[in-house]
Each structure stands twice: as C-alpha cells, then as structure tokens.
Amino acid sequence: MLRSLWVVIGAWLALILTSGARAESLQVVASVRPAALLVQELTAELPVSVTTLLPRGATPHDYALKPSDLRTLVNADLVVWLGDDSEPYLKPVIRKAGRAIQWEELGAVERLSLRELQRGDRVHGDRVHGDRVHGDHDQAHHGHDHPAMHFDPHLWLGVDNALALAAALQDALQLALPQHSQQIARNRAALAQRLQQQRQQVQAALAESPPFMLSHDAYQYLEQDLEIASVGAVNLDPEIKPGVKHLMALKQLLQARDVQCVLVDPTVSSALLDKLDRSPPLHRAAIDPLGWDFNGEHYSLWLAQIYQKVKGCLLQP
C-alpha cells in the first residue's frame, strides 16, 4: 500500500516538473521545415521548443488547418511563416497568434521573379527561350484555383534570405529570452560564417559544371547562389500535367546539350522522368525542397547535404 502511494506521488511530481519545463520553454511554430531548422540552429541548447506546422507530404498550396494546428498557433509565443502570398491558408488565423515573423516581407529578402512563361495558372504552347525549355502545360487545371504568384516562393533555398530571417529571429528571440542574448548572437554569427563559407566552397567546385535539368522548377534560389543554371524543368507546377510538346522539346534539348544530371523533387512523378530518360540513364539526385529528406536539426547542415547532392550529380565521373 505504502509503495503504491509513493508511486502515485512520484508520478504526480514528474507531471508537475515536466509541465513546468514546458511552460518555461519558448514555444515557436514554423510553417515550413526549413524555417524550423533555422530556429533550431539559432536556439541550440536553449529553452526553446520548435514545432513545424506543415506536415511531411503536404504543400502550402493545398493544406487545410486541423483543430490541433489552430491550438498550436494560438498557444505559440512566436510564429515564423512565409507570408500572405506563399501561405494564404494561414492568413485568417495568424492574427490570433502571438508575435509573428513574415519571412517574405523582410526588407533584406530577395524575391526572385518566377521563371518567364511560368506566371499564372496555365502556360500555353511549346516555348523555348535560348537553351532553356520553360514548357507548355495541358489546358486542364484539374480543378485547382490558386492565386497567381508573382515571385518564386522557395526563398528558403537562398543563403542571403536565410540570413535575413536569422537577423529577424535574433531580435525576436533576444526580446523573449534576454538572459540568453549573447548565446543567440553567437549562434547567429556562427550560422552566417558556416553558410557563407560552404556556399563559396561549392561555387568554386562547380565553376565548370555541366548542364543539368530539374524535375520541378523549385531550385532557382539555389541555382543563383551556386552560380549554376538548369536547362529546363519537367514541371513548372507539380499540380499541372506537362504537355506532350514540352516533353518532346525537353528531350531534344537533353540530347543536344548532353545532359547527364537531373535534380528530382519527390513531388514529381518518376513516370514523367522515365519518358525523358535514355541510355545511359540520367543520374537523379533527389532533393526535397521542404527538407523532409534530412534527418538533422540544423539549417546549415541541411543546406550542406543539398550541396553535396548537387555536386555528386553534376560532377559524377
């Protein structure tokens, strides 16, 4: 009997202690995993709990918030999201959350224009600009009705954009955790050094890189950072099926330019790539733009993994 009592008391004390620890932790919610990785790197070893809102396999285009998501947002001390244009599904609820950082609206963020001929919901005709095929898509939009984007939303793949968010995060985190201000500043300085150094190293390694292709036109910021340029993309929008004319034009370009490498977004069907493949087969490097193929917790390490995949694909023997 006495032993059972002590077991109950122990469980009760453990519950109190863990509840207190949760209450003392700063609760940060990031809409996408790359933003969460940035927060985690800036707050390493600090009392901060980071939650990623968008689950694996979902995209900001079609995600519907669950009641548990609403509770998570309302209870957050800080919300980091892309913004109105990239994540319209969050607009109605973000004002109910605590402090929020809108990544795409930060003054230092560069928002690259969508590739020409990608604007709007449909692209008509077989179009080739110079040596780059931008693609025609089937007329049908499969019932989707998204507002036209005027910039490429994959801004987290650019180092300078990541550093812009890191600066905004430092201000917000130091305000919330003044006792850890110096550590947060040191973490940000170390992050900046790592990102700039590894970008320079990979730029040098890829200075004479061969042409390559994309399965999905989602890597424009990465291409700009590494000073490389793809010859074309199978899909401009994963939700719109590419037309036959586009696939034929792209296949001809692959042969003319002797393309050996394709960067693959897992959201794009491998069947489309199979239609373009040849012998010897294209070397495929899988890179999830949303970071779910990375098992770590730091943004710089995730980007380093992407760089290694790009190098391995482009510089294959």
pLDDT band at residue 10 using 50, 70 and 90 as cut-offs: very low
Query: Tens digit of pLDDT for each residue in 226-236?
Result: 999 999 998 87
Given a cut of 70, whether residue 1 has pLDDT beyond it is no
Q: Do you find a cis peptide bond into 280, omega within 30 degrees of 0?
A: yes
pLDDT at 144: 35
Q: Which fold has domain 26-105+115-140+154-314?
A: Rossmann fold (3.40.50)
Q: Which amino acid is at 19?
A: S
- For residue 238, name the pLDDT band (cuts at 50, 70, 90): low
Instruction: Identify the pLDDT of residue 125.
Output: 28
Q: How far from 121 is each of 91, 141, 146, 269, CA to CA, in Å?
A: 21, 7, 7, 20
pLDDT, mean of residues 206-235:
93
Nearest to residue 240, comparing CAs of 121, 127, 148? 121
pLDDT score recorded for residue 269: 75
- Please give the pLDDT value at position 148: 59
- Give me the pLDDT at residue 62, please: 74
- CB neighbour list of residue 311: distance below 8 Å, 6 or more residues apart: 202, 205, 206
Give the pLDDT confidence score for residue 21 in this predicted structure. Answer: 39
Contact by Cβ (8 Å): 50, 39: yes
Residues 83-135 have pLDDT tens digits of 999 999 998 898 878 799 999 999 999 999 887 543 332 222 233 334 444 44
What pLDDT band is residue 180 in, cutting at 50, 70 and 90?
Answer: very high
Tokens, residue 2: 């006495």
The HSE-up count of residue 315 (CA atoms within 13 Å, CB side) is 15
- Of residues 244 and 29, more confidently modeled: 29
Q: Per-residue pLDDT for 53 more than 50? A: yes
49-53 contact pairs (CB < 8 A, 24+): 49/22, 49/25, 51/27, 51/76, 53/29, 53/81
Q: What is the pLDDT of residue 236?
A: 72
Task: Return the higher-pLDDT residue of 168 and 18.
Answer: 168
139: pLDDT strictly greater than 80? no
Q: Where are the domains of the chain?
A: 26-105+115-140+154-314
Q: What is the mean pLDDT of the chain?
A: 83
Q: What gap in Å lies between CA 94 and CA 73, rounded to an integer?
A: 7
CB 51 within 8 A of CB 29: yes
Kindly state the percentage of the chain with pLDDT values over 70: 81
